[in-house]
Structure 1
Amino acid sequence: MSKGEETKEKILHQAAELFNQQGYAGSSISDIMRVTGLQKGGIYNHFKSKDELALLAFDYAIAQIKQHYRVALRSKRHAIERLQAIIDVFRSFVDNPIIKGGCPLLNTAIESDDTHPQLRDRTQQAMNSWRDMICLIIQKGIEKGEIRSEVDADEVATIIISTLEGAVMMSKLYQDSIHMERVIKHLNNYIETYLQI
């Protein structure tokens, strides 16, 4: 990796954390300069605008999360194990966040809802990717006889994602991971009793 590429990745990582903690609207170019230690010209040497940086920083954050899912799923073959691995990875983000500030998907979805259409679209694409991953695991599990045939994959994806994201919000709000622990216990029970054959 060249020095320029290293600098660009450093900016992306630090901007992703800044946007995730303060929001896009709440982060100024001065804030970006402060966290990166670069002058405005150094930032704009790599990015055309704050908007471009926000989109690419979001992509960077999501790519980091996807990498953790890929690693966790690599050794899992059974659909139930794969779903539980997704839940375990998500749970690990509470204690050891990849990007400081909570779930970038949740934070960006809330902030960009009405204020930044491009960022909202990018967030929706990331959510679709997560939903698709869960649905594919369930569909393959049904085909292999590991998951009950009447299970609606999209419905289960909604339940898992909404429950996990709600637990992140409550855990952050109360600064207490008990909310995530309860959700993990509930989802694992739900998967084992409702989905598994």
Structure 2
Amino acid sequence: MNVGTTKAERTRQFIIEKTAEIFNRKGYAGTSMSDITEATGLTKGSIYGNFENKEEVALAVFEYNRSLVFNSVQAQLEKARSYYEKLMVYGRVYKEVIATVGNRGGCPILNTAVEADDTNIPLQLSAAKALFSWKKNLVNIIVQGTEAGEFQPGVNAEAMAVSIIALIEGGVMMSKVTNDYSNMDHVLLTVQLLVNQIKA
């Protein structure tokens, strides 16, 4: 933690980190205040002293869980030497995410999008924002790769980006539900075939 953070900020971060796995596993509706107090060792008063309500904790936790995945992606993107490799990073990272942190509940974007639906608009909007950001990043990689001559001109970058995201999240869902992570290997091969089709 940063030295410059206040005690209140440190407490908020402590609550977020201690409840991140619980929210990702149980979801917003399934996580109770007693789950939060048990995980943190704090009283309800302490929780409400740092967050207005459970929804505010859930929103902060979603952002924290999303950032863990995002940071893993960013680290791999920086190592990628071509735009083709950059496109393949997302699938590899998500495979690692569900294999190494599968016990944390899987993909936070998928979990939140499915659970929030129309019942929790703030959480739904957070999941949508994360997906839009992911799509924008993929579109930028495809556009830059086309400009660099790696990909064919005239590629529908948005359609390609949406297809890649749908494949990866579908693979995550199938792997989690069936507890068979080889599903992600099939998905990664399909993503590779898709990206190979647009190579110049």
Aligned residues: 196
Unaligned stretches of 5+ residues in structure 2: none
State the partner residue of 2:150: 146
Contact 1:73 1:82 in 2 (8 A): yes
State the partner residue of 1:104: 108
Aligned: 1:178 with 2:192? no
What is the one-letter code of the residue matched to 2:198? L
Unaligned stretches of 5+ residues in structure 1: none
Aligned: 1:67 with 2:87? no
The offset of 1:45, in angstroms, is 2.3
State the partner residue of 1:16: 20
Contact 1:13 1:57 in 2 (8 A): yes
Contact 2:102 2:176 in 1 (8 A): no
State the partner residue of 1:135: 139
Measure the CA separation in 2 of the matches of 1:103 and 1:38: 27
Contact 2:16 2:57 in 1 (8 A): yes
Contact 1:65 1:98 in 2 (8 A): no
Moved over 4 A (4+): none
The offset of 1:75, in angstroms, is 2.1
Contact 1:21 1:100 in 2 (8 A): yes
Q: CA RMSD in A?
A: 1.6
Measure the CA separation in 2 of the matches of 1:20 and 1:77: 33
State the partner residue of 2:165: 161
State the partner residue of 2:49: 45
Aligned: 1:195 with 2:198? yes
